[in-house]
A and B are shown apart, each in its own frame.
Chain A
Amino acid sequence: MAEKKIIDGRGSFCPGPLMELIGVLKMSQIGDELEVLSNDKGSAKDIPEWVRKVGHEYVGTREEEGVWHITVRKAK
Chain B
Amino acid sequence: MAVEKICVVVVSGSRERLQMAAMAASVAAVSGIEVTIFLSMNSVPYFVKGAAVDPPSEGGFGELIVRKKAPDFKTLFRQAVELGDAKILPCSMALDIAGIEPDTLEPYLGEPTGLSSFLDAARGAQVWTF
Contacts and interface: CB of A to CB of B under 8 A. Distances in A.
Contact of A22 (B23, B30, B70): B30
Interface in A1-22: 11-16, 18-19, 22
B30 A13 contact: no
Nearest to B84: A22
Given A50-B31, A54-B31, A19 B70 contact: no
Given A15-B23, A19-B26, A53 B69 contact: no
A12 to B, nearest CB: 6
B122 interface: no
A5 B32 CA distance: 24
A12 B31 contact: no
Dominant SS among interface residues on chain A: helix
B108 to A, nearest CB: 14
Contact of A11 (B26, B32, B69, B79): B69
Contacts of B93: none
Interface of A: 11-16, 18-19, 22-23, 26, 50, 53-54
23 contacts: A11-B69, A12-B70, A12-B71, A13-B68, A13-B70, A14-B23, A15-B23, A15-B26, A16-B70, A18-B27, A18-B30, A19-B26, A19-B30, A19-B71, A19-B76, A19-B83, A22-B30, A23-B79, A26-B83, A50-B27, A53-B31, A53-B32, A54-B30
